[in-house]
Structure formats: structure tokens, C-alpha cells
């Protein structure tokens, strides 16, 4: 929408220089209204972040407005109905403006003022009466000053001195004669834009679960959950005394550990006015934290004194999932929290350190999970709008959106192809073709750009790639240096994105584009197969990620896929169900296993707790998803790589598999107009419940095992249909259902109890995931570092008795533990 010009300008305080540590600006505009006011509407935004007040009251419930967008192209204007806040006669509008994302430091390179050197405000207050509308606008008649808010920074925190606040500055009757003048700030008026995303709001308050005194004598509050936000407290004490709050995600050796916040200071300071109980919450910062070190609190610090205020984009929750396994439930909760904590205006990598950028690859990995858990059409629609604008301006999809990196981005698999895969994911989830239409130009330009980069064989084989970022076997200082060839990763992701592009063109009816992209998709798939797939289906760069990509991106024929699945299952077993994938492979590996008939192995991988694994962080007390599989190492220390966050959602993408496979819900038609409901029961789970508010209404799938019976309850909304595969049904029954509630209750197939011994061939043991897991654990304990591969041809035929004979001086303890591992009682050991 275009904004009508009623004379408002962006204004700043005369002489204000926007340097680091500068106090926030306070603007004030007094005006009169008559008795005949019908309606008053305020439209307001800022270069920086703002809080608006009218007659002494804070307007609305948004925080950190206007959020973060590609400001010079799109600066979001908030609209508030303020009729009830106005009084006949004199009124006063006040606005505090902090540095926020527009002026503050962004990125680990220490650079600031990415969008402007000066902070500013723009407002237009429309006063409607019977005689017409009068506009009170931001112009040079406003006054400006500084007040209690001495310094504010997203990364470093806020410093507020209540002794310096002018009482009543935002109310009528205040004398602003001593305040300074304002001047016009040069800012592109065409940037003014209506919001697409929901605003950032306070969404929850947490009270501390513990008040600690550390060995060093520090007072620390533990909120029990890693969150994004800040604290609020009410305090009484001496004028001029200062409380200092320092935030961290983790404590090690009983003390606060600031390693994971890197160069962010995450420190808030409040100096008391001494005027009775005073309540404070920082305005223009947020921290990623679970613990707060409190210094200078007058008297004894009690849990009731301080709350954590969870702050993020206020999206609507639409997906829930719960099982009989508490560790899995915690993993799910960790993914939900990492999503909440990282959707602060834009979808970020992490909320705590000197980064918090809109990294494209992280979101591409987590996109399907995010779209199921929350309605992200607003926040990601807004983000994709900026992505498209910045892509058009620079010619590349930026690695971070909005782009503030000094290194120019280049086309990169999993990162840049979010331009295609995210709109496709959102379309599949919400069923709205307009999502594809809005992104179509961005999608096609990315795909055509990459098409121009392919080598003579049709492979994407040149240029920088992040590869399987953070593969646990990559060197600590080179997260892109994983086991899987980076160009294999790129070529595989291109198979996926070109197919999605071709499907998009078909959905939108662009026939010749559809032909072009279908041909391209076939070409890149052929190129991948030619370069990386043996005729048997073996993927030449034999890694778990390599197989996961080839299997899930439909690159293989059914026969090859079956062979690849077998190879993959063997590799996963050989690794003792420890995870061996990074950002590119992790979202796919469980799918690759379950879609090739290796459900047991998928569950084994999901339920493994050793380091590194999906559940290892849960066993270490994680309340969010970590950036690295071993962000906290088994000895309790923080991974010292310098890039360790405890709140990165990307590796939580497995939760999408949990929804689709354990919960069993997938959309057959976009937006769940028709769906497939096929829960896959395994991993000793005895029940699971999934709920999802689709655009057609609520879907609920709940199954439980009772003795030998399966009880399945499904309800689907009006005007939808589903095909239901009854899990563990003796006749493999599939049913078509229509809207309404459905229940099935039947006797399930019970797998025959196999018996194993020290004479069972290794190949057979290796084919039974739980037994193999116990056997590998015994070998790992007694003979650490010696790999044992039960599927290798030379080993598969041997029994444990034979193997033990080969081990010089095999201890009786080894033999006893192996015997226990293969007997049914071993299961209970």
C-alpha cells in the first residue's frame, strides 16, 4: 500500500550522532483536541526501535517495533487505535527510540550502523471529527531530549538510570522548554510498508525455578528454560544504587558460563530512583538465556522478585505432539522452544550471541517443522518478501536475510535454495497458491542462475558450498569440512529444488516454464546419478548424508533405493546409532531409513542417547536444540570452538519426521485437503498423540497399545478426506475416511520372539537393531576404538563365539557382557 502524505517526516534530535553507547532519544509532541473526537488512529515507525506513549500510557502491546526488515526497502508502520487514550484539551504523544537493528551492532564482525547513522521517528496521528480529519505529524514542531535510557543495544543490553528520567515527560502539562529541537532525517518514504508478520510481543512469563549462590558467591536465578527475552522486576531501594543483570545460557562448574554468548555483553543495568517500589523491564534489547547473574540487589534476592519475560514474534501455535517417551517429548519441546526463541522479527540462527541473523540454511532445514508447529505465513511471508527484494538488488539470494554481511553471498545449496524450498513448503502446508505466486520471480531467478553455473555434465560442481554443515566429524574449526563431498550435497539439493520449481510452475499454470524446469530437473538428476551413483544403488561418497540425500530426494530407482537403504541401515548400525550428519543430512536420515523399510533403525537412531545423538543433549539437560551435537561435552564443558550456541533450531528438524512418521500425518493435497494418516509404531513407544490445526480445521491422530491391541483414534475436519493405514494391523488394512471422528480397535501382529545366542551369526544380530545396539555397546566398552561391522561379508557369517576366539586374551567380563547382550534378559540389563 502507498502511504498518503499528510506532511509527516522522519525526524531526529538535532545534533544526535547515533554512535555506540548513545542514549536513546525521547521525542515529545503536545497537541489539543476538541470535544467532538470520533476516532484517533496513530501510524508510527522508527529508524531504530521505538516505544510510543500517549498521555503517560504505553501504546499497544508490541515490543521491539518495527521488528527487523530490509529497512531501506521496507520499514513496517504500526497502526493503533488510540481513541480511548485521548482527552479533550491538551494531550501529549511521547516516543522513545533506541538503536535496535537499524543502528546497532549486527554480526560477529563488530559492524554497526548498517542502515543509518541516526535514529529517527515517523508518526501520523489522525484525529477524526464530524468536520473532517486533522493530522498531528512528526515534523520540526516536536521536541527531543534524552532521559533515563542511557544506552541500549540488542547484543549488549540496556542501561537505565531512573534518577535521570523526567517525570511526566509523556503527559500533558509537562514543560518541554528545556528540550532540544528536532531536524528532518533523510529516509526513503517509499520504504513505509504495512506489516505482513505478527508483531513481536511478550508471550509468557516464567518465574525462577531456583535462586542460587555460586561457589564464587554470585547470586544467580535459574529460570529452568532457555528463552529469548528479558527480565522484569519490582524493587525498593536507595536512590542511585544500581542492579546489574548478566544473562547466560549455561552454568559450568557451578558458575555462569558466558562462552556461548561470544561477543555479546547481554548485561542490563538499572539505577534506582528511590521513589518507592519501582518496576523495570528493558525495552530495546533481548537476550537468549536461562540464567541471570544479579548483582546489587537490595536485600535478599527471592524467586518472586524477578520474572523472565519471553519475547518473540507472536505467531499462532498450530501443531502439538506427545508420546509415551519423556525423552522424545523433551526433544520436541526443545524444538518448539528453539523456534519461539529464534523467531524474533526474523527467523534467526540463535538468540544469544553476537549473531542472531536470518540465516537461510538454518531455516531451510527447519522450515517444514516450523510450518507445522506455528502458523508462519506472516513471519515467513514477510521474510520471503525481503529475501526477494534483496535478491533482486544484489543478484544473489543472501545467506542472511536481511543481509548485513560484508562478504557477498553466492548461490549455495541448502542456504540459497530456501528461495525455492520455503515457498514450496509453505504452499504444501497451507495450500495457498498465492504463496507460490508471490515468490515466483525469486524462485525462478535463483534456479535459472544456478542452471547457468552447471558444468558440461549438468553438475553443480563449482563454487563455495557450506556442504553438510556441522557434520560431527568435521574439524571443530571447519564446520563445512564434513565427510560428504560438498558438491554432492549441492547436486542433490538441486535435484530437489528443480523438482519443486517444476511443480510450482505446473501449479501456477506456466506451461513453458514447467517444461523448462522439468527438463532441468531431469538433467541434474541424471548428472547426479552419473557422477555419484553406482549401478547397484551404492552412493560413491558413502556417508549417511550421501545416502539420505539420494534416497529422500528421489534420485534413485526403486531397486537402487532398496539397496541404498540397506547400505544406509548398515552404516547407521555400524556407527552404533550415533548421529553422523550435519545440517544437510539430519533432516533426512530418519526418512531415508523409514522409507526404505528400516523403521527399527530409524527409531534406534532417534532414541540413541550417547554422544553424539538426537537425545544426548536431552540427557544433558538441554531445554532447546543445540547448534552442535556436542555443544556441551560429556564432561560438562562447553564446546570451545567459538561457535557454540545452545539455541539453534536446525538440528531439531527431525521433529518433522516425528510428526509424519510417529504421529503419522502427511498432507496428500496441499493444505491437508486430503491426507495420509499412517502412524509407524516402534521404539517401545506405547502411545502418541498429534494435533494439527490445518487451514481446513483440526486434525487429531492418537494411537495407543494396550496389551495386544492397537487403539487408533483419528478425527479430520469438514470437507477433507484421508487414507488411513492401520498400524500393526494383521491384514495391512488401508481405509478411506471422510470428515469426523473415527476409531479402530484391533489385535495387532506380534513379532515372533527371536532367540539369539553366542552362536548366532553376526549378520543376524546386526539385522536386529536393539540386539545389535547392545552388542556394539559391549564392544565399545571393552575394546574402545575398534570398529565392529556385523554386516561386512567377512564378519556376517561369524558368531560372537568365533569373534571372541580371535581376540587375544578376551576377558571373561567381555564374554559375560556379550552373552547378556544377546539373551532376552539383556534387554532389561
Given 99, 349, 471, 608, the residue binding ligand BGC (CB under 6 A) = 349
Residues 664-723 that bind ligand BGC (CB under 6 A): none
Neighbours of 782 (CB within 10 A): 16
Strand 11-13 vs strand 219-235: parallel, antiparallel, or unpaired? unpaired
Residues 359-378 that bind ligand BGC (CB under 6 A): 359, 361-362
- Name the residue among 9, 225, 310, 300 with its Cα closest to residue 135: 9
Q: Is 627 a catalytic residue?
A: yes
Give whichever of 76 and 350 is closer to ligand BGC, judged by the CB atom: 350
Q: Is 522 a catalytic residue?
A: no
Give whichever of 121 and 400 is closer to ligand BGC, judged by the CB atom: 400
Q: Residue 734: beta bridge partners? A: 725
Residues 382-441 that bind ligand BGC (CB under 6 A): none
- Name the residue among 601, 494, 592 with its Cα closest to residue 548: 592
CB of 648 to ligand BGC, least distance (A): 6
Residues 453-472 that bind ligand BGC (CB under 6 A): 466
Give whichever of 350 and 520 is closer to ligand BGC, judged by the CB atom: 350
CB of 361 to ligand BGC, least distance (A): 5
730 CB-side CA count, 13 A: 8
- Name the residue among 186, 138, 144 with its Cα closest to residue 31: 138
Give whichever of 627 and 656 is closer to ligand BGC, judged by the CB atom: 627
CB of 391 to ligand BGC, least distance (A): 18
Residues 465-504 that bind ligand BGC (CB under 6 A): 466
- Distance between CA atoms of 362 and 805, rounded to whole angstroms? 49
Q: Between 308 and 347, how does the x/- string for binding to ligand BGC read (CB under 6 A)?
A: ----------------------------------------
> Of the residues 355, 429, 516, 531, which is catalytic?
355
CB of 201 to ligand BGC, least distance (A): 25
CB of 652 to ligand BGC, least distance (A): 12
- Distance between CA atoms of 700 and 713, rounded to whole angstroms? 8
Alpha carbon 170 to its chain's center = 38
- Distance between CA atoms of 555 and 566, rounded to whole angstroms? 16
Give whichever of 33 and 497 is closer to ligand BGC, judged by the CB atom: 497
Q: Between 626 and 665, how does the x/- string for binding to ligand BGC read (CB under 6 A)?
A: -----------------x----x-----------------
Whether the ω angle into residue 402 lies within 30 degrees of 0, i.e. cis, is yes
Stretch that binds ligand BGC, among 121-129, 179-187, 358-366, 708-716 (CB under 6 A): 358-366
CB of 245 to ligand BGC, least distance (A): 25
- Coil vs helix vs strand at 24: coil
Q: Decide if 585 contacts 544 (C-beta within 8 A).
A: yes
How far is CA 483 from each of CA 37, 580, 651, rounded to the nearest angstrom? 69, 9, 17
Given 99, 355, 403, 513, the residue binding ligand BGC (CB under 6 A) = 355
Stretch that binds ligand BGC, among 259-267, 353-361, 456-464, 811-819 (CB under 6 A): 353-361
* List of long-range contacts for 438-443, beta carbons under 8 Å, 24+ apart: 438/381, 438/384, 438/385, 438/388, 439/384, 439/388, 440/504, 440/508, 440/510, 441/388, 441/392, 442/384, 442/387, 442/388, 442/391, 442/392, 442/397, 443/419, 443/501, 443/504
How far is CA 378 from each of CA 36, 305, 400, 590, 681, rounded to the nearest angstrom? 37, 36, 18, 30, 35
Sign of the torsion formed by the C-alpha atoms of 498, 500, 503 and 508: negative
CB of 464 to ligand BGC, least distance (A): 10
Q: Environment class of residue 522 by beta-carbon count within 10 Å: exposed (0-12), middle (13-18) or buried (19+)? A: middle
Q: Residue 152: beta bridge partners? A: 158
Stretch that binds ligand BGC, among 207-215, 337-345, 356-364, 556-564 (CB under 6 A): 356-364
How far is CA 611 from each of CA 62, 180, 191, rounded to the nearest angstrom? 41, 60, 49
CB of 384 to ligand BGC, least distance (A): 18
CB of 261 to ligand BGC, least distance (A): 13
CB of 645 to ligand BGC, least distance (A): 7
Give whichever of 350 and 605 is closer to ligand BGC, judged by the CB atom: 350
- Distance between CA atoms of 320 and 659, rounded to whole angstroms? 9
| H-assigned helices in 395-510 | 418-430, 433-451, 486-507
Helix, strand, coil shares of the chain, percent, nearest 5, are 30, 25, 40
CB of 348 to ligand BGC, least distance (A): 9
Give whichever of 646 and 716 is closer to ligand BGC, judged by the CB atom: 646
Alpha carbon 799 to its chain's center = 46
- Distance between CA atoms of 228 and 243, rounded to whole angstroms? 21
Neighbours of 334 (CB within 10 A): 25
Give whichever of 357 and 550 is closer to ligand BGC, judged by the CB atom: 357
Q: Decide if 223 contacts 208 (C-beta within 8 A).
A: yes
Give whichever of 120 and 402 is closer to ligand BGC, judged by the CB atom: 402
- Coil vs helix vs strand at 280: strand
Give whichever of 259 and 601 is closer to ligand BGC, judged by the CB atom: 259
- Distance between CA atoms of 540 and 556, rounded to whole angstroms? 13
> Of the residues 198, 390, 429, 627, which is catalytic?
627
Contacts of 792 (CB under 8 A, 6+ apart): none
Give whichever of 584 and 722 is closer to ligand BGC, judged by the CB atom: 584
Q: Which residue is nearest to ligand BGC (CB)?
A: 349
Residues 170-229 that bind ligand BGC (CB under 6 A): none
How does DSSP classify residue 243?
A: E
The size of the interface with ligand BGC (CB under 6 A), counted in residues, is: 9
Residues 52-111 that bind ligand BGC (CB under 6 A): none
Give whichever of 361 and 790 is closer to ligand BGC, judged by the CB atom: 361
- Name the residue among 319, 320, 322, 333 with its Cα closest to residue 685: 322
Strand 674-677 vs strand 709-725: parallel, antiparallel, or unpaired? parallel
Q: Decide if 71 contacts 115 (C-beta within 8 A).
A: yes
CB of 362 to ligand BGC, least distance (A): 5
Sign of the torsion formed by the C-alpha atoms of 786, 791, 794 and 799: positive
Q: Is residue 50 a contact residue for ligand BGC (CB under 6 A)?
A: no
Cα torsion for 134, 140, 145, 149, to the nearest 10°?
60
Give whichever of 350 and 544 is closer to ligand BGC, judged by the CB atom: 350
Sign of the torsion formed by the C-alpha atoms of 757, 758, 763 and 767: positive
CB of 821 to ligand BGC, least distance (A): 39
Stretch that binds ligand BGC, among 339-347, 357-365, 662-670, 821-829 (CB under 6 A): 357-365
How far is CA 13 from each of CA 59, 181, 650, 704, rounded to the nearest angstrom? 22, 6, 42, 65
- Interacting residues with ligand BGC (CB under 6 A): 349-350, 355, 359, 361-362, 466, 643, 648
Please identify every residue annotated as catalytic.
355, 627
Amino acid at each position: 500500500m502507498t502511504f498518503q502524505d499528510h506532511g509527516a517526516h522522519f525526524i531526529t534530535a538535532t545534533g544526535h550522532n547515533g554512535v555506540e553507547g548513545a542514549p536513546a532519544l525521547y521525542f515529545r509532541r503536545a497537541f489539543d483536541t476538541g470535544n467532538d473526537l470520533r476516532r484517533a488512529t496513530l501510524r508510527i515507525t522508527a529508524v531504530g526501535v521505538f516505544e510510543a506513549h500517549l498521555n503517560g500510557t504505553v501504546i499497544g502491546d508490541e515490543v521491539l517495533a518495527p521488528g527487523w526488515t530490509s529497512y531501506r526497502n521496507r520499514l513496517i508502520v504500526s497502526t493503533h487505535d488510540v481513541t480511548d487514550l485521548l482527552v479533550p484539551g491538551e494531550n501529549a504523544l511521547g516516543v522513545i527510540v533506541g538503536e535496535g537493528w537499524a543502528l546497532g551492532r549486527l554480526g560477529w564482525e563488530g559492524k554497526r550502523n548498517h542502515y543509518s547513522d541516526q535514529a529517527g521517528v515517523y508518526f501520523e496521528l489522525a484525529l477524526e471529527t464530524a468536520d473532517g480529519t486533522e493530522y498531528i505529524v512528526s515534523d520540526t514542531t516536536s521536541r527531543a531530549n534524552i532521559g533515563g535510557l542511557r544506552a541500549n543495544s540488542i547484543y549488549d543490553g540496556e542501561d537505565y538510570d531512573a534518577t535521570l528520567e523526567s517525570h511526566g515527560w509523556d503527559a500533558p502539562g509537562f514543560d518541554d522548554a528545556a528540550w532540544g529541537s528536532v531536524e528532518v532525517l533523510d529516509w526513503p518514504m517509499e520504504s513505509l510498508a504495512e506489516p505482513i508478520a505478527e508483531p513481536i510481543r511478550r508471550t509468557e512469563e516464567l518465574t525462577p525455578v531456583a535462586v542460587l549462590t555460586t561457589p564464587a558467591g554470585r547470586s544467580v536465578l535459574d529460570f529452568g528454560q532457555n528463552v529469548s527475552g528479558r527480565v522484569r522486576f519490582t524493587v525498593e531501594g536507595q536512590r542511585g544504587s544500581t542492579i546489574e543483570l548478566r544473562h547466560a545460557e549455561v552454568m559450568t562448574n557451578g558458575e555462569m558460563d558466558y562462552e556461548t554468548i561470544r561477543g555479546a555483553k547481554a548485561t542490563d543495568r538499572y539505577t534506582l530512583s528511590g521513589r518507592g517500589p519501582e518496576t523495570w523491564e528493558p525495552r530495546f534489547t533481548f537476550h537468549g538465556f536461562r540464567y541471570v547473574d544479579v548483582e546489587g540487589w537490595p536485600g535478599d534476592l527471592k524467586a518472586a522478585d524477578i520474572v523472565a519475560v519471553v519475547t518473540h514474534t507472536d505467531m499462532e501455535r498450530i501443531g502439538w505432539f506427545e508420546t509415551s517417551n519423556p525423552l522424545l517429548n523433551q526433544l520436541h519441546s526443545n524444538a518448539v522452544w528453539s523456534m519461539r526463541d529464534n523467531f524474533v522479527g526474523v527467523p534467526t540462527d540463535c538468540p544469544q550471541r553476537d549473531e542472531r541473523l536470518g540465516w537461510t540454511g538454518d531455516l531451510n532445514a527447519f522450515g517444514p517443522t516450523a510450518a507445522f508447529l506455528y502458523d508462519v505465513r506472516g513471519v515467513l511471508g514477510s521474510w520471503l518478501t525481503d529475501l526477494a527484494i534483496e535478491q533482486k538488488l544484489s543478484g544473489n539470494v543472501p545467506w542472511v536475510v536481511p543481509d548485513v554481511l560484508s562478504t557477498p553471498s553466492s548461490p549455495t545449496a541448502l542456504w540459497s535454495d530456501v528461495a525455492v524450498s520455503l515457498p514450496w513448503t509453505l504452499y504444501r502446508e497451507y495450500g495457498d497458491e498465492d504463496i507460490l505466486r508471490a515468490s515466483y520471480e525469486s524462485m525462478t531467478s535463483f534456479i535459472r542462475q544456478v542452471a547457468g553455473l552447471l558444468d558440461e555434465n549438468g553438475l553443480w560442481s563449482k563454487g563455495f558450498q557450506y556442504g553438510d554443515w556441522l557434520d560431527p566429524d568435521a574439524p571443530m574449526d571447519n564446520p563445512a569440512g564434513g565427510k560428504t563431498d560438498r558438491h554432492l550435497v549441492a547436486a542433490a539439493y538441486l535435484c530437489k529444488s528443480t523438482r519443486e520449481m517444476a511443480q510450482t510452475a505446473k501449479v501456477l499454470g506456466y506451461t513453458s516454464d514447467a517444461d523448462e524446469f522439468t527438463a532441468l530437473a531431469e538433467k541434474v538428476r541424471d548428472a547426479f546419478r552419473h557422477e555419484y551413483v553406482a549401478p547397484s544403488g551404492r552412493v560413491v561418497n558413502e556417508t549417511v548424508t550421501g545416502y539420505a540425500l539420494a534416497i529422500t530426494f528421489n534420485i534413485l530407482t526403486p531397486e537402487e533405493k532398496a539397496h541404498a537403504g540397506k547400505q544406509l541401515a548398515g552404516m547407521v548400525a555400524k556407527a552404533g546409532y550415533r548421529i553422523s550428519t550435519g545440517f544437510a543430512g539430519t533432516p533426512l536420515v530418519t526418512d531415508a531409513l523409514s522409507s526404505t523399510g528400516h523403521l527399527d533403525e530409524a527409531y534406534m537412531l532417534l532414541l540413541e542417547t550417547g554422544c553424539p545423538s538426537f537425545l544426548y543433549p536431552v540427557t544433558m539437560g538441554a531445554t532447546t536444540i543445540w547448534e552442535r551435537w556436542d555443544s556441551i561435552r560429556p564432561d560438562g564443558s562447553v564446546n570451545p570452538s567459538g561457535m557454540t550456541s545452545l539455541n539453534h533450531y536446525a538440528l531439531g528438524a527431525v521433529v518433522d519426521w516425528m510428526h509424519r512418521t510417529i504421529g503419522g500425518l502427511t498432507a496428500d493435497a496441499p493444505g491437508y485437503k486430503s491426507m495420509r494418516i499412517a502412524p509407524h509404531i516402534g521404539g517401545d513407544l506405547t502411545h502418541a498423540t498429534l494435533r494439527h490445526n490445518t487451514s481446513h480445521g483440526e486434525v487429531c491422530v492418537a494411537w495407543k497399545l494396550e496389551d495386544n491391541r492397537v487403539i487408533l483414534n483419528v478425527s479430520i475436519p469438514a470437507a477433507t478426506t484421508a487414507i488411513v493405514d492401520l498400524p500393526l494391523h494383521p491384514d495391512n488394512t488401508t481405509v478411506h475416511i471422510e470428515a469426523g471422528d473415527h476409531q479402530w480397535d484391533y489385535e495387532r501382529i506380534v513379532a515372533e520372539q527371536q532367540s539369539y545366542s553366542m552362536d548366532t551369526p553376526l549378520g543376524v544380530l546386526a539385522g536386529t537393531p536393539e540386539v545389535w545396539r547392545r552388542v556394539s555397546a559391549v564392544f565399545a566398552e571393552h575394546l574402545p576404538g575398534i570398529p565392529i561391522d556385523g554386516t561386512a561379508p567377512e564378519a556376517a557369517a561369524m558368531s560372537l563365539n568365533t569373534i571372541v576366539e580371535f581376540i587375544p586374551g578376551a576377558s571373561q567380563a567381555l564374554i559375560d557382557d556379550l552373552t547378556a547382550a544377546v539373551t532376552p534378559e539383556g534387554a532389561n540389563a
